[in-house]
Amino acid sequence: KVLLTTWLLRFYFKDLTMSWQGYVDNNLLGTGKIASAAIYGHDGSAWATSPGFSVKPVEFRALFDGFKDENSPLFGSGIRVNAVKYFTLKADARSCYGKLGDDGIVAVKTQQAILIGTYKEPIKPGQATLVVENLADYLIGVGY
């Protein structure tokens, strides 16, 4: 079962020769479920972003520090990304989810990166979450 899952993830996400921008363009934005996206290193450096989407250093630090299993500061401050504040729905050591009206954000921490995706209505939270979480699972599986 694990081998089949790994094979399916590799087939779906192609291979690691794709650039980081390719993951944003194809595996996040290309699904039609993510409106804007970025991949950042744990040091706050932007590996790839969609046009017009950026995370300021202070926003990144607050998000990164919010990945905690208990007492995440994001529950008090919200998730701020690209100068937009989202109400925090979930924050743990792996994932942070936020909402702003019918729109929202999904951020997932891997071993070396933070994947961030936003979605807009009519996309449902679960659809966007699945896209970002699946890419994170793949990257974790290949050491990122």
CA pair distance 131, 26, nearest whole angstrom: 11
How do residues 11-40 score in pLDDT, each as one tens digit? 555 544 579 999 999 999 999 999 999 999
* Three-class SS of the chain: CHHHHHHHHHHHHCCCCCCHHHHHHHHHHHHCCCCEEEEEECCCCEEEECCCCCCCHHHHHHHHHCCCCCCCCHHHHCEEECCEEEEEEEECCCEEEEEECCEEEEEEECCCEEEEEEECCCCCHHHHHHHHHHHHHHHHHCCC
With 90 as the cut, is the pLDDT of residue 9 above it? no
Q: Determine how many CB atoms are found less than 10 A away from the CB of residue 125.
A: 17
What pLDDT was estimated at residue 5?
52
- Model confidence, pTM: 0.88
**What domains are there in the chain, each with its CATH number?**
2-141 (3.30.450.30)
Given a contact cutoff of 8 angstroms between Cβ atoms, the answer to whether 28 and 37 are in contact is yes
Given a contact cutoff of 8 angstroms between Cβ atoms, the answer to whether 78 and 86 are in contact is yes
Q: What is the mean pLDDT of residues 94-107?
A: 99
